[in-house]
Amino acid sequence: MKARLIEIFSSIQGEGIYIGHRQLFLRFFGCNLQCSFCDTVQNKLPLKCRVELKETAGEYLLRDNPLNTQELLKIVTLFPVKLHHSVSLTGGEPLLHHKFLKKFLPAFREETGLEIFLETNGTLIEELKELLPWIDYIAMDFKLPHLLGGDNYLKQHLEFLTLSLQKKVFVKIVVTGDSSKEELMEYIRAVRDVSSSVPVVLQPVTAKTDSLGISNSYLMELHSSSLKILSGVRVIPQTHIIMGYL
C-alpha cells in the first residue's frame, strides 16, 4: 500500500484551538472538495515528496512518490519526534488515503508513541470509522455552501461530528466577507444540537495579500451572533501565515 504526499515538515500548528503546539506535518495529496479559499495546490500530481531538512531553513530533500509504509516511517523518524505534540495528518484530505493510513498509523504509533491529529473536511464518514481507533484529535471543518459553489455538506458534517465525539474534536468554520450570517447561524445551531461542549473556531480567510478577507466589523458581528447561540465560539486567524511558517 502506497500514498502520495506533497510534503513532510516540522512546524507550529497555526490554526484552531491547538495553535502554538509543535507538530510533525504529513501533507497528503488530493481532496474530494474544491474550496474557493484553498491554499494548497491539489491539481498537479506530485512526482516527488518534499521533506524538510531543517526547520524554517528552506532546505528540502525530494523523495519519489508514492511512498510505502516503511519508507514513510524511515522519513518521519529522522525528525526529533519526542519534541512534538503530535503528528498532523493534513492535506488536501488525508482520509482519501484511509487504506494506507490503516497500515501506517499502528506502525507509526508503535515506533514513536506520538499522538495522531487529523485535519479533515469532515465529509468522509466511512473512512473515519476505519481509522478512529488510532486517532486522538480531530480538527474538522464545517464548509459553508457559498465557499463550495453552493454544495451543502451539513448532513455529512453532522454525522461526522457525532462520530468524532469519541475523540478530542473541534469544529472550524472559514468565514469571508461574503459569508451569510443566516447561513453561518444555521451551522452554529447544528453544532450546538449535536453537542454544546464542542469548541467552534471562526477562521477569517487570509487573502493573498496576507490580510483578512473580511472586515473587522463584520467578523465581530458574526462572532457576536454566534455567541448568542453557542458560548464556545472563538475567532482565530491562520497564525502560521502571519509568522511566515509552513
Evaluate if residue 246 carries a pLDDT over 80. Answer: no
Evaluate if residue 224 carries a pLDDT over 60. Answer: yes
Per-residue pLDDT of 35-68, as tens digits, reads 776 766 566 789 999 999 887 778 899 999 999 9
Separation CA 47–CA 5 (nearest Å): 9
Q: What is the mean pLDDT of residues 175-200?
A: 97
Q: Print the domain residue range for 102.
A: 2-243
CATH number of the domain where residue 97 is located: 3.20.20.70
pLDDT class of 10 with cuts at 50, 70, 90: very high
pLDDT at 245: 73
Separation CA 64–CA 78 (nearest Å): 17
pLDDT at 207: 62
Q: What is the mean pLDDT of residues 147-153?
A: 90
Separation CA 112–CA 190 (nearest Å): 37
pLDDT at 40: 63
Quick one: cell of 146? 457559498
pLDDT at 39: 61
Evaluate if residue 225 carries a pLDDT over 70. Answer: yes
How is the chain classified by DSSP, letter by letter? -EE-EEEEEEEE--SGGGTT-EEEEEEE---S---TT--S--SS--SEEEEEEETTTTEEEEEESSEEHHHHHHHHTTS-GGG-SEEEEESS-GGGGHHHHHHHHHHHHHHH--EEEEEE-S--HHHHHHHGGG--EEEEE---GGGGTT---HHHHHHHHHHHTTSEEEEEEEE-TT--HHHHHHHHHHHHHH-TTS-EEEEEPBPTTSSBSS-HHHHHHHHHHHHTT-TTEEE---HHHHHT--
pLDDT at 34: 79
Evaluate if residue 210 carries a pLDDT over 60. Answer: no
State how many domains the chain has.
1
pLDDT at 208: 54
pLDDT at 212: 63
Q: pTM for the complete prediction?
A: 0.94
